[in-house]
Amino acid sequence: MSWTDERIEQLRSMWEKGLTASQIADELGGVSRNAVIGKAHRLGLKSRPSPVKATEKAKPARSAPVPKPAAPTPTPAPRAAEPASARPAPAPRA
C-alpha cells in the first residue's frame, strides 16, 4: 500500500475529526495503526492527548513493607590479655 494524495487527505480529515489511529487504519485499509501514527507524525499533524483519562491514573503497585533494620548488637569491650603464666601449657602431641 502506498500513501496516495487522496489517502493522505483522508488521513488528515479523520485525524482532525479526532478519530483514533486504529479507527483511521481500519477505514483506510491496508495500513496498521502504527503506520497511521508514523504518517501523521511525518506530516506534522497536531499531536493529541492520550485517550487514557488523567483521572484514571495507574494505581501504585503495593509493595511489601520494608523491614526496619535491626538494632546493632553492641560489641563487647576488648579484654585485657592474660599473663603467660596464667595460661595452661599446650598438651603434648602424640
> Which set of grid coordinates corresponds to residue 33?
495503526
Q: Which of 31-35, 40-44, 64-68, 83-87 has the lowest mean pLDDT?
A: 83-87
The stretch 58-79 carries a mean pLDDT of: 75
28 inside domain: yes
Q: How many CA atoms lie within 13 A of 2 on its CB side?
A: 2
- Going 34 to 39 to 41 to 47, the CA torsion angle's sign is negative
Q: Which of 8-22, 34-48, 64-78 has the lowest mean pLDDT?
A: 64-78
12 inside domain: yes
Q: What is the domain extent for residue 11?
A: 5-49
pTM exceeds cut of 0.95:
no
15 inside domain: yes
Q: How many domains does the chain have?
A: 1
